[in-house]
Structure 1
Amino acid sequence: MNGTDEGISAWITVNFLIGSLKTAGSNSVGMLDLGGGSTQITFLPRVQGTLQTSPPGYLTSLQIFNRTYKLYSYSYLGLGLMSARLAILGGVEGKPEDGKELVSPCLSPSFKGEWEHAEITYRISGQKAVNLYQLCASRVSEILQNKVHRTEEVKDVDFYAFSYYYDLAANVGFIDAEKGGSLVVGDFEIAAKYAVSPPVCRTVENQPQSNPFLCMDLTYISLLLQEFGFPGNKVLKLTRKIDSVETSWALGAIFHYIDSLNTQKS
């Protein structure tokens, strides 16, 4: 299953669990997922301008439960959190650095260590400099430049966010690690700036070695959401379960498969 199909299946899961697929005209919610290698965004556009200006490959027709939905759904391969880390560090997927040390302002200046990604081990270290957050944000912006399609409608759609969005929010205490919760997009930027305590980029617990990527990850998520078009005051819901049911794309995929079989029989 490709990333776009996962995004659509996750959209089905969430909207089924909140009941928006049961009644025609019910307001659906959007879905944001941030994995290690890719990130997905899926929602049901209600503004004609979104349908008219979306690039090729961003709109897909979904038939399920005797209804047809024209979804905006796209998977950005290479913009998952782990792939983004490597790009921010200056590495290249699948290419060992042959002992070269990757230096980044998004890591604590005192940090030196190793990081394994896709079965390759990289030597990494922090950069000694002032204005670390600005330097880190500038580097992340370079990675995201012209990579993400922005749509104005997302600011008016309710969204659920999953995977690393959830993990990072729980890590810095914005949501309960078990129950989830809500936050505004701007909270990620606040946390990223808090993780930068001049002159060091640190974790919330002031222990750089425990999570040397915290500053980088929070900065990346903050700027990624802004690139999608989310304003700082936009509320996101983060959860792993709705009515005690896991919000996994697998449930939506099963529904879609069963529904397609019924359609073929009829």
Structure 2
Amino acid sequence: MTNNSISTKRLNKYISESGFCSRRGADKLIEANRVTINDQVPELGTKVQAGDVVKVDGKTIASMPTNKSDRIYIAYNKPIGITCTTESHVRGNIIDAIGHKERIFPIGRLDKPSEGLIFLTSDGDIVNKILRAENAHDKEYIVTVDKPISERFIERMSRGVPILGTITKPCIVRVKSRFVFTIILTQGLNRQIRRMCEYLDYEVKKLKRSRIMSVELGNLKPGQWRYLTQAEMDEINTSVAGSSKTANESKSENKNENKSEKVVRVKKTYNDLKK
């Protein structure tokens, strides 16, 4: 089955627009040699021409039209224990947990022991626009820790701490009760909040994401989901307007930074934080 209605476009964009997965997911499929164009294994960055047959794991996919009226956008309250993967062999994967009849995939992730708000969609193009670090979209969390929260802890968390070879960006941290605080991040480092707390000798006992951009968790109970409203989608689309590069493409543009200068900068900030 061919699709003669498309113009030339990058392979990862073609796959994401089909609703199969995000562009980052497509890049991983391509790198794993699970994608073919006209039965040939392509390289990253390959462009799809009109009439090309694209397959993933031997199954033909077709790029969707630019009209997004039939795309799906979901807000889900992920319970603890659910894994944010589309891999069907993973027990407790998020796709089986929701059970939607259409192919959807999560935008970003929440750790298995965490709970709260996460978006899922069939629109691969919007995934990368939301995830791009340059867009700095707010994500708010409610965090419970294992001992009383001190002023120093709040100040250090707000200012930034060294994890994963970098310094976390300044963020908004507020005390909610003796053991509970809220934090608003614009980053999405791996296990960021847990690592930040660990650095300051605190252990996270409970972590819930309560907001993404302008969308609140609201009254959704764990395991429940709803479609995003038109007003919410309008605001999201306005926020990501003009964003077109994938996270991988954005990273590649930053690789020209002088590594020695970066190391010096991180060490200087690290020493400042120890004072």
**What is the TM-score with the length of structure 2 in the denominator?**
0.26
Q: Look at both structures and tell me which one has the larger radius of gyration over its CA atoms.
A: 2
**What is the TM-score with the length of structure 1 in the denominator?**
0.26
Pick 1 or 2: higher relative contact order, CA cutoff 8 A, min separation 6.
1
